[in-house]
């Protein structure tokens, strides 16, 4: 096929990238890319023959009589046959996800600890693909459910692919990989009726959590606001497992990987997340796409925590236990690089669905540790790709490394590479394709001394399960703590087996008596009278309120502007311009999606403003903030609309910044007819409960409103 728009677009991009690694990856993908939106292309069969009719099966037919369809129609059979086999098995977990391409830049070399080029060469720009996901739900489930989020990054480095297959929480439910199938079975829909979908709020999940006290720390994270992130762009990423780094002197270091979002960590409130699951199940997917397409590229600071070999036993916890963090106060995070996402995939299936991450994919200078969860993962990821993608999945464009690949792994179903040569084994008489030497960049395994009894046991420090659960809870703000209590109350209310909610209420007393008592009362468990163990009272930097941007911004925040006929054009245009200038994303919402006319404008003499959506089509949940410009007729219409009042009330209940000017303030006042909530009607700018109102429209009002909207970033 002639060079098409997409592949030539990719090629152009590649040329501008000037022979860089990113250019290399793009060029390699361009070879496999075809443009369907090309008016010069023609429909063909899979074997390349142009087709004149793909709408009617070849059949015996006259003007008034339809006879049998003919088996001889190969093109029709091919079309149906290909359709019949379109589906592949979804990921056994993390089935629902969204991906994006990006770049990794290193600011500070880690050569003291590693030889890995990607972590030592500050002149490099390493291309990458990131896939975010929920864990429990099926591929078609909702984005905003309470769950852990996957944060998987494939770095296409000069020395081969390096995958960090992480999550948005730094710990995990279990310590030993052999428990994984039990754990996942308990979280997935129950086996008898396949209920519930994408929920941890059911008997089996909480039964397992109680029976595995090692899960206590992790379920506190999952029940916290971290379980309902506002955006993939606003969550942390953690490698979770302990890896190792190896430097040029052959010294080894233990390492944990961190990604901290430059936009800060933000979450929904639960009511919002629940509603969004129905109102817009693709909310996170669309959010990522909206930001990248608008050029507001999400960025994370990349950091490492490092413990030198020999110091691994200096901690009260085992540094190989994935249910434990390394508190930052004990092992600081060194931020050394930046990950940016800047390009959406061209096609979901071939890129986001077919990407195959493996914890086993490490590059020279990076290695594993004896973390028993990681060791099992190293088997599982390689293995699972086989049932999802078949053999030769490494050759799919999204999975191909940017460096040369050559070995004697051959054949298998759907092999693409054609390897020339007369031998396919090593050693061979030609000395063809010999193994690499260390100085040629070969992967070197650390010569680790190992001794011990072969046993099905866990070592001593792995037996302590509550200390860091307390540490996490103690570190939360009062608002975050109340969200945790509300979350347990919701989840355990969905468990109808008293054994489950009774026991879980008792378990919470191992963390905090007050928490256990409030949850037990809500869910009908017997109320614990004394703490299961004393609280050590320690805290760490674990509240998400401590991960906020240095310069708060409303960039990428979605602001709904409510208007009806007769709106104040000065106020409307002013706020739209101010929001755009601040790189926020304004959406105009009206009672209908056909033109709305400003005060003094006439249908016919003016085009009016065409809203992006109408009040029934989108709900306040889909926006970060609501603004109501003045205009007597506009506001009178909105004040009569139950939906408009609900919009403002709901936004208020979800702690969103609300702004109103001129008569718009009256709508806020109507909506705020709640006990104990009062809004002044004075002419100056009023800021109370996160609501900014200014009865007189003046430029300063917009500034105040914007300031408040920025403040919205602080609501957790």
| Residues making up the binding site for heme | 381
- Which CB, 253 or 381, lies closer to ligand HDE? 381
Question: To the nearest whole angstrom, how small is the minimum distance from the Cβ of residue 240 to ligand HDE?
Answer: 3
User: Contact letters (x/-) for ligand HDE, 299-338, by CB under 6 A?
Assistant: -----------------------x----------------
Question: To the nearest whole angstrom, how small is the minimum distance from the Cβ of residue 90 to ligand HDE?
Answer: 9
Judged by CB under 6 A, the residue of 126, 157, 167, 588 near ligand HDE is 167
Give the whole-angstrom CA distance, residue 332 versus residue 305.
Answer: 6
Per rule CB under 6 A, is residue 172 in the interface with ligand HDE?
yes
- Which CB, 240 or 291, lies closer to ligand HDE? 240
Q: Which of residues 630-659 bind ligand HDE (CB under 6 A)?
A: none
Helices (H) and strands (E) in the chain, counts: 18, 19
Question: To the nearest whole angstrom, how small is the minimum distance from the Cβ of residue 41 to ligand HDE?
Answer: 32
Element (H, E) at 499: helix 498-508
Select from 160-168, 298-306, 401-409, 483-491 the region that touches ligand HDE (CB under 6 A). 160-168
Question: To the nearest whole angstrom, how small is the minimum distance from the Cβ of residue 357 to ligand HDE?
Answer: 5
Question: To the nearest whole angstrom, how small is the minimum distance from the Cβ of residue 48 to ligand HDE?
Answer: 33
Per rule CB under 6 A, is residue 240 in the interface with ligand HDE?
yes
Give the whole-angstrom CA distance, residue 372 versus residue 365.
Answer: 21
- Which CB, 98 or 508, lies closer to ligand HDE? 98
DSSP for 542-571, please give it: --GGGS--SS---TT-EEEEE--TTB-HHH
Chain-centroid distance, C-alpha 13: 26
Catalytic site residue 167?
A: yes
DSSP for 385-411, please give it: HHHHH-TTGGGSTTT--SS----S---
Select from 91-99, 256-264, 511-519, 674-682 the region that touches ligand HDE (CB under 6 A). 91-99
DSSP for 277-300, please give it: HHH-TTHHHHHHHHHHHTT---EE
Chain-centroid distance, C-alpha 416: 32
Give the whole-angstrom CA distance, residue 170 versus residue 475.
Answer: 15
Select from 55-63, 172-180, 392-400, 454-462 the region that touches ligand HDE (CB under 6 A). 172-180
Q: Which residue in the list 161, 167, 399, 474 is annotated as catalytic?
A: 167
Backbone phi, psi, residue 463, to 5°: -80, -15
- Which CB, 87 or 249, lies closer to ligand HDE? 87
Question: To the nearest whole angstrom, how small is the minimum distance from the Cβ of residue 169 to ligand HDE?
Answer: 8
Of 579, 643, 630, 588, nearest in space to 611 by CA: 588
Judged by CB under 6 A, the residue of 23, 117, 127, 150 near ligand HDE is 150
User: Contact letters (x/-) for ligand HDE, 350-389, by CB under 6 A?
Assistant: -------x---------------x--xx--xx--x-----
Judged by CB under 6 A, the residue of 10, 17, 26, 97 near ligand HDE is 97
Residues in binding contact with ligand HDE, number by CB under 6 A = 25
Give the whole-angstrom CA distance, residue 555 versus residue 567.
Answer: 26
Give the whole-angstrom CA distance, residue 405 versus residue 419.
Answer: 11
Per rule CB under 6 A, is residue 166 in the interface with ligand HDE?
yes
Closest residue to ligand HDE, Cβ-based? 150
Select from 85-93, 111-119, 288-296, 573-581 the region that touches ligand HDE (CB under 6 A). 85-93
Give the whole-angstrom CA distance, residue 143 versus residue 530.
Answer: 39
Q: Which residue in the list 24, 38, 94, 654 is annotated as catalytic?
A: 94
- Which CB, 235 or 585, lies closer to ligand HDE? 235
Task: Reply yes or no: is the peptide bond before residue 626 cis, omega within 30 of 0.
Answer: no
Q: Are 699 and 578 in contact (CB under 8 A)?
A: no
Question: To the nearest whole angstrom, how small is the minimum distance from the Cβ of residue 102 to ligand HDE?
Answer: 15
Give the whole-angstrom CA distance, residue 365 versus residue 26.
Answer: 26
- Which CB, 22 or 353, lies closer to ligand HDE? 353
- Strand 625-628 and strand 558-562: the pairing is parallel
Give the whole-angstrom CA distance, residue 513 versus residue 523.
Answer: 15
Give the whole-angstrom CA distance, residue 651 versus residue 635.
Answer: 17
Per rule CB under 6 A, is residue 177 in the interface with ligand HDE?
yes
Q: Are 112 and 252 in contact (CB under 8 A)?
A: no
Catalytic site residue 94?
A: yes
64 torsion bin: left (phi>0), alpha (psi -120 to 50), beta (else)? alpha
- Strand 252-261 and strand 299-308: the pairing is antiparallel
- Which CB, 136 or 307, lies closer to ligand HDE? 136
- Which CB, 91 or 188, lies closer to ligand HDE? 91
Judged by CB under 6 A, the residue of 25, 96, 124, 131 near ligand HDE is 131
Tokens of 79: 């079309």
- Which CB, 97 or 590, lies closer to ligand HDE? 97
| SS3 of residue 589 by DSSP | strand
Catalytic residues: 94, 167
Residues forming the site for ligand HDE (CB under 6 A): 91-94, 97, 131, 133, 150, 152, 165-167, 172, 177, 180, 240-241, 322, 357, 373, 376-377, 380-381, 384
């Amino acid at each position: 096929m002639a060079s098409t728009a997409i592949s030539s677009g990719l090629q152009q991009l590649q040329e501008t990238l000037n022979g860089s690694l990113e250019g290399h990856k793009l060029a390699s993908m361009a070879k496999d890319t075809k443009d369907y939106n090309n008016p010069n292309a023609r429909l063909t069969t899979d074997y390349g023959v142009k087709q004149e009719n793909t709408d009617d099966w070849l059949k015996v037919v006259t003007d008034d009589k339809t006879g049998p369809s003919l088996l001889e129609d190969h093109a029709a059979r091919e079309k149906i046959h290909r359709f019949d086999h379109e589906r592949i098995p979804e990921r056994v977990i993390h089935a629902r996800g969204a991906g994006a391409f990006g770049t990794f830049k290193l600011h500070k070399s880690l050569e003291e600890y590693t030889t890995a080029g990607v972590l030592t060469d500050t002149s490099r720009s390493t291309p990458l693909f990131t896939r975010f996901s929920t864990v429990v739900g099926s591929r078609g489930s909702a984005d905003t459910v309470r769950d852990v989020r996957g944060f998987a990054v494939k770095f296409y480095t000069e020395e081969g692919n390096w995958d960090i297959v992480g999550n948005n929480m730094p710990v995990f439910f279990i310590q030993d990989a052999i428990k994984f199938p039990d754990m996942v079975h308990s979280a997935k829909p129950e086996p008898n009726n396949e209920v519930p979908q994408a929920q941890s709020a059911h008997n089996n999940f909480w039964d397992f959590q109680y029976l595995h006290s090692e899960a206590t720390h992790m379920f506190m994270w999952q029940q916290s606001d971290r379980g309902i992130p506002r955006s993939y762009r606003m969550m942390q990423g953690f490698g979770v497992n302990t890896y190792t780094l190896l430097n040029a002197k052959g010294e080894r270091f233990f390492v944990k990987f961190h990604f901290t979002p430059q936009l800060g960590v933000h979450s929904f409130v639960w009511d919002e997340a629940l509603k969004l699951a129905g109102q817009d199940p693709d909310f996170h997917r669309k959010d990522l796409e909206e930001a990248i397409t608008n050029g507001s590229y999400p960025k994370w600071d990349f950091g490492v925590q490092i413990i030198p070999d020999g110091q691994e036993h200096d901690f009260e916890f085992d540094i190989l236990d994935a249910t434990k963090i390394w508190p930052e106060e004990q092992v600081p995070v060194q931020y050394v690089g930046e990950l940016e996402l800047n390009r959406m995939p061209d096609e979901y299936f071939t890129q986001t669905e077919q990407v195959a991450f493996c914890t086993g994919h490490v590059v020279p200078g990076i290695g594993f540790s004896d973390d028993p969860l990681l060791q099992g993962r190293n088997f599982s990821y390689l293995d699972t790709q086989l049932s999802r993608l078949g053999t030769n999945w490494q050759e799919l464009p999204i999975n191909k490394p940017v460096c040369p690949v050559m070995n004697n792994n051959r054949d298998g179903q759907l092999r693409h590479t054609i390897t020339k040569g007369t031998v396919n084994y090593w050693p061979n008489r030609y000395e063809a394709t010999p193994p690499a030497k260390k100085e040629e960049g070969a992967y070197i395994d650390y010569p680790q001394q190992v001794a011990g009894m072969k046993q099905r046991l866990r070592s001593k420090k792995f037996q302590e399960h509550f200390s860091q659960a307390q540490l996490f809870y103690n570190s939360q703000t009062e608002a975050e703590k109340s969200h945790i209590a509300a979350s347990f109350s919701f989840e355990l209310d969905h468990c109808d087996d008293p054994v489950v909610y009774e026991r879980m209420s008792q378990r919470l007393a191992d963390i905090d008596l007050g928490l256990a008592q409030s949850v037990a009362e809500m869910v009908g468990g017997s109320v614990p009278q004394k703490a299961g163990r004393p609280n050590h009272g320690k805290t760490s930097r674990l509240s998400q309120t401590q991960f906020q941007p240095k310069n708060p911004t409303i960039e990428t925040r979605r602001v709904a502007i409510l208007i009806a006929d007769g709106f104040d054009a000065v106020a409307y245009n002013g706020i739209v311009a101010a929001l755009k200038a601040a790189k926020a994303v304004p959406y105009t919402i009206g009672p209908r999606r056909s033109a709305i006319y400003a005060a003094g404008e006439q249908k016919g003499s003016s085009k009016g403003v065409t809203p992006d959506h109408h009040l029934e089509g989108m709900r306040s949940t889909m926006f970060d903030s609501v603004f109501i410009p003045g205009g007597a007729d506009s506001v009178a219409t909105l004040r009569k609309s139950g939906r408009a009042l609900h919009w403002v009330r709901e936004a208020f209940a979800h702690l969103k910044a609300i702004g109103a000017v001129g008569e718009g303030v009256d709508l806020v006042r109507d909506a705020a007819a709640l006990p104990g909530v009062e809004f002044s009607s004075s002419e100056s700018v009023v800021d109370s409960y996160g609501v900014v109102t200014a009865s007189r429209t003046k430029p300063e009002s917009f500034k105040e409103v914007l300031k408040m909207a920025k403040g919205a970033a602080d609501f957790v």
